Amino acid sequence: MRAGPVRWQTSRFLIDLGKPRVMGIVNITPDSFSDGGRYASTKAALARCEALVAEGVDILDLGGESSRPGTPPVSLEEERARVLPVLREVMQFNVPVSLDTCKPALMREALGLGVDIINDIWALRHAGAPEAVASHPSCGVCLMHMHGEPQTMQREPMTGDAVPQVREFLVQASERLLALGVARSRIAWDPGIGFGKTVAQNYSLLARQQELATAGYPLLVGWSRKSSLGSVTGQPVNDRLAASVTAAVLAVERGARIVRVHDVKDTVAALKVWAATISVAARQEAVQ
């Protein structure tokens, strides 16, 4: 049984989460862990967005700063220069657009352009970030759990049982937004696979994902090409297609409503097979 709302309120779209949605990653960066540099130019990033739309993506997620462990931070000016030219064009695509950023000034500017979702790996912990989201009447927001910060998070990963710690962190982050008047229907949770967690903790978050889903917020989960997949398969980052798609389907089966992926076409196809199976099972159950 799935918990939580079936629709996600965003700036321009009320996204139906009765079916799993695929969020396609577009890294407008030279240094992302998987495809850094491939879409760093405005032209290449727009071509990537167009390709993902053709492949059936439900949400485009654009980011101009890598969160790869050890990567130095990017200035506001540099991040603006990377993402704003792409955002101005992609807003015409008639598909929900998410901006992956932690900078309040850029959040406000992007929301002014009509961006639908703010996806913040810091869960709006930077000064001014909660207010940037709360001052908008309807934008969606994804709050992610991260232990530590990108430069050092894998040197000293979190200890103990990750599931209750992640849940409590996200509950508190959500309550701060609710107190500012942000509707629950605008908030989604991301457990932050790989962000300061051990391999075992990441898999416990997948195995016990329902413990997060019962909080009532839709789960947005990103396993795509993560190092924990490489740890169990022995495959390098760009050979993790099968593992990534498998993890996405397992996440959906355990209650995720949005999966954030690099490989949109293959994930969409896999979820169609999953949905067909679920549909048949539901019909058979109704007959009995």
Domain coordinates in residue numbering, the chain: 7-287
Contact assessment for residue 218 and residue 148, using Cβ atoms and an 8 Å cutoff = no
For the question of residue 226 being annotated catalytic, the response is yes
pLDDT tens for each residue of the chain, 288 residues long: 344 448 999 999 999 999 999 999 999 988 655 665 677 799 999 999 999 999 999 999 999 998 877 778 899 999 999 999 999 999 999 999 999 999 999 999 999 999 999 999 999 999 999 999 999 999 999 999 999 888 777 788 899 999 999 999 999 999 999 999 999 999 999 999 999 999 999 999 999 999 999 999 999 999 999 999 999 999 999 999 999 999 999 999 999 999 999 999 999 999 999 999 998 877 777 776
Given this model, what pLDDT does residue 155 score? 80
pLDDT at 1: 35
pLDDT of residue 31: 61
Q: Which of 21, 80, 240, 260 is catalytic?
A: 260
CB 39 within 8 A of CB 52: no
Q: Show Cβ contacts of residue 82 under 8 Å, excluding neighbours closer than 6 positions.
A: 28, 29, 40, 64, 74
Q: Model-level pTM greater than 0.85?
A: yes
Query: What kind of fold does domain 7-287 have according to CATH?
Result: TIM Barrel (3.20.20)
Q: How far apart are CA 52 and CA 229, in angstroms?
A: 23
Catalytic residue (one of 226, 240, 254, 257): 226
3-state secondary structure (DSSP) of residue 80: helix
Inter-CA distances, 123 with 66, 94, 227, Å: 16, 27, 22
Q: Is 197 part of the annotated catalytic residue set?
A: no
